[in-house]
Amino acid sequence: MVINTALLSQLANNIRKHAITMTSLGGSSHIGSILSIADILAVLYGSVLKYRPDNPNWVGRDRFILSKGHAGAGVYAALAESGFFSKDKLKTHYQNGSDLSGHVSHKGIPGVEFSTGSLGHGLPVAVGMALAAKIDKANHRVFVLMSDGECDEGSNWEAILFASHHRLDNLVVIIDRNKLQSIKSTEHTLSLEPFSDKWRSFGWEVIEIDGHDCPELYKVCIDDGEVSRNKPLCIVANTIKGKGVSFMENNVLWHYRSPQGFEYDAAMKELENGDA
Protein backbone atom coordinates (compact mmCIF):
# COMPACT_ATOMS: atom_id res chain seq x y z
CA MET A 1 0.00 0.00 0.00
CA VAL A 2 1.19 3.48 -0.87
CA ILE A 3 0.42 6.15 1.67
CA ASN A 4 -0.34 9.75 0.92
CA THR A 5 2.30 11.53 2.96
CA ALA A 6 0.89 14.96 2.17
CA LEU A 7 -2.52 13.95 3.52
CA LEU A 8 -1.01 12.53 6.71
CA SER A 9 1.05 15.69 7.24
CA GLN A 10 -2.06 17.80 6.77
CA LEU A 11 -3.97 15.60 9.24
CA ALA A 12 -1.15 16.01 11.77
CA ASN A 13 -1.19 19.76 11.24
CA ASN A 14 -4.96 19.86 11.71
CA ILE A 15 -4.63 17.92 14.97
CA ARG A 16 -2.01 20.43 16.12
CA LYS A 17 -4.21 23.43 15.23
CA HIS A 18 -7.24 21.94 16.96
CA ALA A 19 -5.13 21.21 20.04
CA ILE A 20 -3.73 24.75 20.20
CA THR A 21 -7.26 26.16 19.96
CA MET A 22 -8.73 23.67 22.44
CA THR A 23 -6.07 24.24 25.09
CA SER A 24 -6.22 27.98 24.55
CA LEU A 25 -10.03 28.16 24.85
CA GLY A 26 -10.02 25.85 27.84
CA GLY A 27 -6.95 27.34 29.49
CA SER A 28 -5.76 23.77 29.83
CA SER A 29 -2.30 22.21 30.06
CA HIS A 30 -0.22 19.65 28.19
CA ILE A 31 -0.02 21.23 24.73
CA GLY A 32 3.65 20.19 24.48
CA SER A 33 2.68 16.54 25.08
CA ILE A 34 -0.06 16.73 22.45
CA LEU A 35 2.15 18.30 19.79
CA SER A 36 4.75 15.57 20.23
CA ILE A 37 2.25 12.83 19.32
CA ALA A 38 0.35 14.60 16.51
CA ASP A 39 2.24 12.77 13.75
CA ILE A 40 1.78 9.41 15.48
CA LEU A 41 -1.98 10.03 15.82
CA ALA A 42 -2.19 11.13 12.18
CA VAL A 43 -0.47 7.97 10.94
CA LEU A 44 -2.58 5.73 13.16
CA TYR A 45 -5.96 7.32 12.37
CA GLY A 46 -5.04 8.24 8.79
CA SER A 47 -3.55 4.96 7.60
CA VAL A 48 -3.02 2.17 10.12
CA LEU A 49 -5.99 1.59 12.41
CA LYS A 50 -9.03 -0.32 11.17
CA TYR A 51 -12.20 1.43 12.36
CA ARG A 52 -15.69 2.47 11.29
CA PRO A 53 -16.79 5.93 12.43
CA ASP A 54 -20.43 5.00 11.78
CA ASN A 55 -20.04 1.91 13.99
CA PRO A 56 -17.48 2.77 16.67
CA ASN A 57 -17.95 -0.55 18.50
CA TRP A 58 -17.44 -2.65 15.37
CA VAL A 59 -15.99 -5.87 16.73
CA GLY A 60 -13.27 -6.10 14.07
CA ARG A 61 -11.79 -2.69 14.83
CA ASP A 62 -8.23 -2.25 16.01
CA ARG A 63 -8.18 -1.09 19.61
CA PHE A 64 -6.30 2.10 20.47
CA ILE A 65 -5.62 3.29 24.00
CA LEU A 66 -3.98 6.60 24.81
CA SER A 67 -2.27 5.78 28.07
CA LYS A 68 -0.79 9.28 28.40
CA GLY A 69 -4.33 10.56 28.97
CA HIS A 70 -3.19 14.15 29.50
CA ALA A 71 -2.78 14.41 25.72
CA GLY A 72 -6.47 13.58 25.29
CA ALA A 73 -7.18 16.72 23.25
CA GLY A 74 -5.03 15.21 20.50
CA VAL A 75 -7.17 12.07 20.39
CA TYR A 76 -10.41 14.07 20.42
CA ALA A 77 -9.06 16.10 17.48
CA ALA A 78 -8.01 12.96 15.59
CA LEU A 79 -11.44 11.40 16.14
CA ALA A 80 -13.25 14.53 14.97
CA GLU A 81 -11.00 14.68 11.89
CA SER A 82 -11.76 10.99 11.25
CA GLY A 83 -15.52 11.51 11.30
CA PHE A 84 -16.48 10.13 14.71
CA PHE A 85 -18.15 13.39 15.76
CA SER A 86 -18.41 17.00 14.70
CA LYS A 87 -15.35 19.24 14.83
CA ASP A 88 -17.58 21.86 16.48
CA LYS A 89 -17.71 19.69 19.57
CA LEU A 90 -13.98 20.22 20.06
CA LYS A 91 -14.66 23.80 21.17
CA THR A 92 -16.35 22.48 24.32
CA HIS A 93 -13.13 20.80 25.51
CA TYR A 94 -12.41 21.55 29.19
CA GLN A 95 -15.51 23.79 29.44
CA ASN A 96 -18.26 23.64 32.08
CA GLY A 97 -20.67 20.83 31.30
CA SER A 98 -18.50 19.23 28.62
CA ASP A 99 -17.75 15.52 28.36
CA LEU A 100 -14.46 16.27 26.58
CA SER A 101 -12.38 16.18 29.74
CA GLY A 102 -8.79 17.30 30.02
CA HIS A 103 -7.73 13.68 30.33
CA VAL A 104 -9.25 11.38 27.75
CA SER A 105 -12.62 9.87 28.69
CA HIS A 106 -14.76 7.40 26.77
CA LYS A 107 -18.16 8.25 28.21
CA GLY A 108 -20.30 9.79 25.51
CA ILE A 109 -17.37 10.08 23.11
CA PRO A 110 -17.60 7.68 20.15
CA GLY A 111 -14.23 6.23 19.20
CA VAL A 112 -12.51 6.53 22.58
CA GLU A 113 -11.73 2.97 23.61
CA PHE A 114 -10.61 3.62 27.17
CA SER A 115 -10.38 6.46 29.67
CA THR A 116 -7.04 7.29 31.20
CA GLY A 117 -5.43 10.14 33.08
CA SER A 118 -3.61 8.34 35.83
CA LEU A 119 -0.41 7.04 34.28
CA GLY A 120 0.47 3.37 34.11
CA HIS A 121 -3.08 2.15 33.47
CA GLY A 122 -3.30 1.88 29.68
CA LEU A 123 -0.82 -0.92 29.07
CA PRO A 124 -2.25 -3.50 31.51
CA VAL A 125 -5.72 -2.92 30.04
CA ALA A 126 -4.39 -3.21 26.48
CA VAL A 127 -2.69 -6.44 27.51
CA GLY A 128 -6.07 -7.75 28.70
CA MET A 129 -7.64 -6.78 25.37
CA ALA A 130 -4.83 -8.46 23.44
CA LEU A 131 -5.17 -11.59 25.58
CA ALA A 132 -8.93 -11.64 24.90
CA ALA A 133 -8.24 -11.39 21.15
CA LYS A 134 -5.91 -14.39 21.43
CA ILE A 135 -8.50 -16.38 23.39
CA ASP A 136 -11.17 -15.50 20.81
CA LYS A 137 -8.79 -16.05 17.85
CA ALA A 138 -9.65 -12.56 16.60
CA ASN A 139 -7.41 -10.77 14.09
CA HIS A 140 -7.53 -7.17 15.23
CA ARG A 141 -4.56 -5.55 16.95
CA VAL A 142 -4.27 -3.49 20.11
CA PHE A 143 -2.25 -0.25 20.13
CA VAL A 144 -1.17 1.72 23.18
CA LEU A 145 0.45 5.11 23.04
CA MET A 146 2.48 5.80 26.17
CA SER A 147 4.76 8.56 27.34
CA ASP A 148 8.36 7.92 28.26
CA GLY A 149 7.97 9.51 31.70
CA GLU A 150 5.04 7.17 32.26
CA CYS A 151 7.49 4.28 32.26
CA ASP A 152 8.40 5.32 35.82
CA GLU A 153 5.16 3.60 36.85
CA GLY A 154 5.79 0.07 38.08
CA SER A 155 2.43 -1.25 36.85
CA ASN A 156 3.75 -0.98 33.28
CA TRP A 157 6.60 -3.36 34.01
CA GLU A 158 4.17 -5.91 35.42
CA ALA A 159 2.28 -5.74 32.13
CA ILE A 160 5.48 -5.79 30.06
CA LEU A 161 6.46 -9.08 31.73
CA PHE A 162 2.99 -10.53 31.17
CA ALA A 163 2.77 -9.54 27.49
CA SER A 164 6.04 -11.21 26.53
CA HIS A 165 5.35 -14.29 28.65
CA HIS A 166 2.07 -14.79 26.77
CA ARG A 167 3.62 -13.85 23.40
CA LEU A 168 1.05 -11.18 22.64
CA ASP A 169 2.23 -10.35 19.13
CA ASN A 170 -1.08 -8.58 18.47
CA LEU A 171 -0.01 -5.83 20.86
CA VAL A 172 1.84 -2.69 19.73
CA VAL A 173 3.19 -0.15 22.20
CA ILE A 174 4.32 3.21 20.89
CA ILE A 175 6.42 5.29 23.26
CA ASP A 176 6.39 9.04 22.81
CA ARG A 177 10.09 9.41 23.61
CA ASN A 178 10.24 13.20 23.90
CA LYS A 179 12.64 12.91 26.84
CA LEU A 180 10.91 15.61 28.88
CA GLN A 181 8.56 14.98 31.73
CA SER A 182 6.70 17.36 33.95
CA ILE A 183 9.62 19.12 35.65
CA LYS A 184 12.87 18.04 34.01
CA SER A 185 14.21 15.57 31.46
CA THR A 186 13.58 11.87 31.88
CA GLU A 187 17.28 11.31 32.41
CA HIS A 188 17.45 13.91 35.19
CA THR A 189 14.32 12.57 36.83
CA LEU A 190 14.72 8.80 36.81
CA SER A 191 17.04 7.75 34.03
CA LEU A 192 15.41 5.44 31.50
CA GLU A 193 18.40 4.75 29.28
CA PRO A 194 19.34 2.32 27.89
CA PHE A 195 15.60 2.44 27.25
CA SER A 196 15.21 0.16 24.22
CA ASP A 197 17.48 -2.43 25.80
CA LYS A 198 15.22 -2.54 28.83
CA TRP A 199 12.24 -3.48 26.67
CA ARG A 200 14.34 -5.97 24.68
CA SER A 201 15.55 -7.64 27.85
CA PHE A 202 11.90 -8.08 28.84
CA GLY A 203 11.34 -10.10 25.67
CA TRP A 204 9.89 -7.47 23.35
CA GLU A 205 10.69 -6.65 19.76
CA VAL A 206 11.89 -3.04 19.79
CA ILE A 207 12.16 -0.62 16.87
CA GLU A 208 13.46 2.91 17.31
CA ILE A 209 12.34 5.52 14.81
CA ASP A 210 11.84 9.23 14.25
CA GLY A 211 8.35 9.82 15.67
CA HIS A 212 7.71 12.72 13.30
CA ASP A 213 8.54 10.77 10.11
CA CYS A 214 5.13 9.67 8.83
CA PRO A 215 6.28 7.15 6.18
CA GLU A 216 8.63 5.60 8.71
CA LEU A 217 5.88 5.43 11.35
CA TYR A 218 3.55 3.82 8.82
CA LYS A 219 6.14 1.23 7.88
CA VAL A 220 6.65 0.04 11.47
CA CYS A 221 3.00 0.23 12.54
CA ILE A 222 1.30 -1.43 9.60
CA ASP A 223 0.71 -5.15 9.69
CA ASP A 224 1.56 -6.34 6.21
CA GLY A 225 1.38 -9.96 7.26
CA GLU A 226 5.04 -10.48 6.36
CA VAL A 227 6.50 -10.22 9.81
CA SER A 228 5.82 -12.95 12.31
CA ARG A 229 7.37 -11.83 15.56
CA ASN A 230 5.79 -14.12 18.11
CA LYS A 231 6.39 -11.32 20.60
CA PRO A 232 4.86 -7.94 21.40
CA LEU A 233 6.22 -4.89 19.59
CA CYS A 234 7.50 -1.71 21.20
CA ILE A 235 8.09 1.25 18.90
CA VAL A 236 10.28 3.85 20.56
CA ALA A 237 9.30 7.00 18.67
CA ASN A 238 11.88 9.71 19.21
CA THR A 239 9.92 12.93 19.30
CA ILE A 240 10.23 16.59 20.21
CA LYS A 241 7.93 17.88 22.90
CA GLY A 242 6.03 20.85 21.47
CA LYS A 243 6.87 19.80 17.89
CA GLY A 244 5.56 22.20 15.22
CA VAL A 245 5.56 25.42 17.24
CA SER A 246 9.11 26.73 17.45
CA PHE A 247 8.88 28.43 20.83
CA MET A 248 7.25 25.39 22.43
CA GLU A 249 9.74 22.84 21.15
CA ASN A 250 11.82 21.16 23.84
CA ASN A 251 10.61 23.66 26.41
CA VAL A 252 9.22 22.08 29.56
CA LEU A 253 7.26 25.29 30.26
CA TRP A 254 4.66 24.07 27.77
CA HIS A 255 3.88 20.97 29.73
CA TYR A 256 1.55 23.15 31.81
CA ARG A 257 1.25 26.54 30.10
CA SER A 258 -1.74 27.28 27.93
CA PRO A 259 -1.22 29.47 24.80
CA GLN A 260 -3.03 32.78 25.18
CA GLY A 261 -3.12 36.08 23.27
CA PHE A 262 -0.04 36.68 21.15
CA GLU A 263 1.27 33.21 21.98
CA TYR A 264 -1.86 31.67 20.51
CA ASP A 265 -1.64 33.86 17.40
CA ALA A 266 2.03 33.09 16.86
CA ALA A 267 1.48 29.33 17.29
CA MET A 268 -1.44 29.27 14.87
CA LYS A 269 0.48 31.34 12.33
CA GLU A 270 3.38 28.89 12.37
CA LEU A 271 1.03 25.94 11.94
CA GLU A 272 -0.96 27.63 9.18
CA ASN A 273 2.29 28.17 7.34
CA GLY A 274 2.63 24.42 7.39
CA ASP A 275 -0.73 23.90 5.68
CA ALA A 276 -0.65 22.39 2.21
Partner 1 sequence: MRDAFLSALTKLAGVDKDIVLLTADLGYGVFEEFESKFPGQYFNVGVSEQNMTGVASGLSLEGKKVVTYSIGNFPTLRCLEQIRNDACYHDTNITIVASGGGFSYGSLGMSHHATEDIAILRALPNMSVVAPCSVREAGEAITVMIKNGGVSYIRLDKTAAEDLHTEDDFIIGKARRYKDGKDITLMATGGILNEANIAANELGKLGISVRVVGMHSIKPIDRDEIIDAASNTGGIVSVEEHNKDGGLGSAIAEVCMDCGITPKIFLRIGLSNVYSSIVGSQQYLRSRYEIDSTSIVNKVINELAV
Q: What residues make contact with partner 1 under the rule CB under 8 A?
A: 106, 113-118, 120-121, 123-133, 135-136, 154-155, 158-159, 161-162, 166
In angstroms, the CA 105 to CA 112 distance is 7
- Closer Cβ to partner 1, 91 or 106, answer by number: 106
- Closer Cβ to partner 1, 57 or 86, answer by number: 57
| Burial label, 56 (beta-carbon count in 10 A; 0-12, 13-18, 19+) | middle
Rg of the chain, C-alpha, whole Å:
17
In angstroms, the CA 156 to CA 130 distance is 15
| Burial label, 246 (beta-carbon count in 10 A; 0-12, 13-18, 19+) | exposed
Residue 56 CB, shortest distance to partner 1, in Å, is 13
- Closer Cβ to partner 1, 128 or 215, answer by number: 128
Residue 158 CB, shortest distance to partner 1, in Å, is 4
Peptide bond into 194 cis (omega under 30): yes
Residue 142 CB, shortest distance to partner 1, in Å, is 8
Residue 122 CB, shortest distance to partner 1, in Å, is 8
